[in-house]
Amino acid sequence: MTKLLHVDDDDDIREVTKIALEIFDDFELMQCASGEEALRAVGEFIPDVLLLDVMMPGLTGPQTLEKIRMMPGLAEVPVIFLTARTATDENKELWDLGALEVMNKPFDPMLLSQQIKTALDRLS
């Protein structure tokens, strides 16, 4: 089972993501409503993959990733970004941060699990 930390400030997105990933039972999911909350939780959860919203109040997804990657044992955790923005230059910045995948919001809940697995398969 893959441990996935999902961080998104939108309650509805977190709920849809939870339902979408629980259907397939391939993920142990922890969800946080902010980057700050994720930083408090990530040390005990130790995720296999991060699913981060890009635009959040407080710490953005990229800022959250930067802080997580400074923590012992978490420097190489793969990240998938979720973004409502589709500008190519903004997505390029996410790829430059080492994104395994950049997915657009809204996403198809029925495809989410497979999209994450496909992205993770590229690591092997």
CB 21 within 8 Å of CB 29 = yes
Is the residue at 123 inside a domain?
no
* Domain annotation covers residue 26: yes
Q: Please state the domain count of the chain.
A: 1
Q: Whole-angstrom Cα distance, residue 108 to residue 67?
A: 29
The answer to whether residue 31 sits within a structural domain is yes
Q: Read off the tokens for 23.
A: 């259907």
> What does pLDDT average to over the chain?
94
pLDDT in tens, 42-91: 999 999 999 999 999 999 999 999 999 999 999 999 999 999 887 677 78
Tell me the torsion sign for CA atoms 57, 59, 42, 18.
positive
18 in any annotated domain: yes
pTM for the model stands at: 0.95
Domain containing residue 38: CATH number: 3.40.50.2300
6 within some domain: yes
Which of 84, 85, 45, 50 is closest to 65 using CA atoms? Answer: 50
Q: Is residue 68 part of a domain?
A: yes
Domain assignment present for 121? no
Give the whole-number percent of the chain exceeding pLDDT 90: 88
Per the structure, the complete domain to which residue 46 belongs is given by 2-116
